[in-house]
């Protein structure tokens, strides 16, 4: 039976959009570091009859009947997470990463309490206390930064922690290409009596694979999404470590109550099932090789970009992610590079860089990564090819200048997007991308 045959008959318009997106993913290079390709098995779980069930509460303690098999599914996910991350407690119900992080605040804080996190423009996450996030509105947020070399300023972290005595210190980010110094953060949190929370949304798969240090011995709580380097469905988990239970024996209960009934209603059982499948896949020996290959690919790509004259934040990477600093070509170049690469079949995202001279909407950097490329089976040789192609595109559009006037920007960008459709270099790169993707096929027809 053809994939999505029922949908094709019921809603051909939606079916057509999904097929076009499938073709886009198959014929392009997905390089946004927070994206990956799930296995067909994960997709089957996500599209299963579990979407029909309501399961408010937790296994053995539901508010609805008929949950005996749902309990098995959720316990599978819990036990697999506990084993992989070596933790005594795991909550697999958060709908996504931001709700998971907010649940930590609900469990530990009162409105107005002081919290600390890495500033967004220096690579941090919105939910670690950024001013436009609810976490920055409802709590007294103190933000730490990176140094001139792009590495976390651990001396500043210690100074701010001692001055402000935060209830929570976050370690983790959305745009940081180096290994997190969990042990140093742990010492600081212990010195001031703070809860240390590791948000490993980006690196959880690397942690499982042993390609990045684990936060488990050092922190009280771990939060993570499940769809980045973990290669699962869009979802999240909150885990409590033994150190967390030693600090507060009721911490696991507080986390569970913060999720339900504090923030959420019934869990998405099909999502829980998809997480369980992804965790099983991550327990296989092949996943260890996969995680290490992500980092090898990232480093190979970084070296190729540098050899082509591009500047990188921190001058390299320890993980799956690279940040290209485009300020040698001027400020606000991120949007031009993102759109031009998109036209050439390479998907990444514009991103702020530390001390960005431009605005977050028109930043001076781009963020890219290797998880999805590695899932397709690409290795270091392919990273060298891709690095050259990216460099070609950047050099082709580096002289475009963002107007200062906002109205002029709209007109200018519209003209730019029309021009790049006919750019011969971009057409050449697009052809090279399609040929490369053809050598590493994604989702053969027999698999979905």
Catalytic residue set: 54, 56, 199, 225, 228, 234
Non-local (6+) Cβ contacts of 240 within 8 A are: 87, 88, 89, 90, 220, 221, 222, 251, 252, 255
- Quote the CA–CA distance of 43 and 313 in Å, as a whole number: 35
Q: Tokens in use for 425?
A: 């270099």
For residues 274 and 38, is the Cβ–Cβ distance under 8 A? yes
Q: What is the 3-state secondary structure (H, E, C) of the chain?
A: CCCCHHHHHHCHHHHHHHHHHHHHHHHCEECCCCCCCCCHHHHHHHCCHHHHCCCCEECCEECCCCCHHHHHHHHHHHHHHHHHHCCCEEECCCCCHHHHHHHHHHHHCCCCCEEEEECHHHCCCHHHCCCCCHHHHCCEEEEECECCCCCECHHHHHHHHHHHCCCEEEECCCCCCCCCCHHHHHHHHHHHCCEEEEECCCCHHHHHHCCCCCCCCCCCEEEEECCCCCCCCCCEEEEECHHHHHHCCCHHHHHHHHHHHHHCCCCCHHHHHHHHHHHHHHCCHHHHHHHHHHHHHHHHHHHHHHHCCCEEHHHCCCCCEEEEECHHHCCCCHHHHHHHHHHCCEECEEECCCCCCCCCCCCCEEEEECHHHHHCCCCHHHHHHHHHHHHHHHHHHCCCCCCCCHHHHHHHHHHHHHHHCCCHHHHHHHHHHHHHHHHCCCCCHHHC
């Amino acid at each position: 039976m053809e994939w999505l045959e029922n949908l094709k008959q019921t809603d051909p318009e939606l079916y057509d959009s999904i097929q076009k997106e499938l073709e886009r993913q198959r014929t392009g290079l997905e390089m946004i570091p927070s994206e990956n390709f799930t296995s067909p098995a994960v997709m089957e779980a996500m599209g299963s009859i579990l979407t029909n069930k309501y399961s408010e509460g937790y296994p053995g303690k539901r508010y609805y009947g008929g949950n005996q098999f749902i309990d098995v599914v959720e316990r599978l996910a819990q036990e697999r997470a506990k084993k992989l991350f070596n933790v005594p407690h795991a909550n697999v119900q958060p709908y996504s990463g931001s709700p998971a992080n907010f649940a930590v605040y609900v469990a530990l804080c009162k409105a107005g309490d002081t919290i600390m996190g890495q500033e967004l423009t220096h690579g941090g996450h919105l939910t670690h206390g950024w001013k436009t996030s609810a976490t920055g509105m409802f709590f007294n947020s103190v933000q730490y930064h990176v140094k001139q070399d792009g590495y976390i300023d651990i001396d500043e972290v210690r100074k701010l922690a001692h001055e402000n005595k935060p209830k929570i210190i976050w370690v983790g980010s959305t745009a940081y290409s180096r290994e997190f110094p969990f042990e140093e953060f742990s010492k600081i949190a212990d010195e001031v009596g703070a809860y240390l929370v590791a948000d490993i949304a980006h690196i959880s798969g690397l942690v499982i694979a042993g390609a990045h240090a684990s936060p488990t011995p050092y922190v009280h709580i771990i939060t993570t999404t499940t769809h980045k380097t973990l290669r699962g469905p869009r979802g999240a988990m909150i885990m409590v470590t033994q150190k967390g239970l030693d600090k507060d024996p009721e911490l696991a209960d507080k986390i569970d109550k913060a999720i339900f009934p504090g923030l959420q209603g019934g869990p998405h059982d099909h999502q829980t099932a998809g997480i369980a499948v992804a965790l099983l896949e991550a327990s296989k020996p092949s996943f260890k090789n996969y995680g290490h290959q992500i980092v090898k690919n990232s480093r190979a790509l970084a070296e190729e970009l540098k050899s082509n004259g591009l500047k990188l934040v921190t001058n390299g990477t320890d993980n799956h992610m690279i940040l290209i600093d485009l300020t040698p070509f001027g400020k606000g170049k991120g949007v031009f590079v993102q759109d031009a690469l998109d036209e050439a079949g390479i998907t990444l995202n514009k991103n702020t860089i530390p001390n960005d001279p431009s605005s977050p909407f028109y930043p001076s950097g781009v963020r890219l990564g290797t998880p999805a490329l590695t899932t397709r089976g690409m290795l270091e040789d392919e990273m060298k090819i891709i690095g050259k192609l990216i460099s070609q595109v950047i050099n082709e559009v580096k002289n475009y200048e963002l107007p200062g006037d906002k109205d002029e920007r709209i007109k200018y960008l519209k003209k730019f997007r029309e021009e790049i459709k006919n750019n011969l270099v971009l057409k050449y790169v697009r052809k090279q991308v399609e040929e490369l993707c053809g050598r590493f096929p994604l989702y053969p027809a027999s698999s979905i």
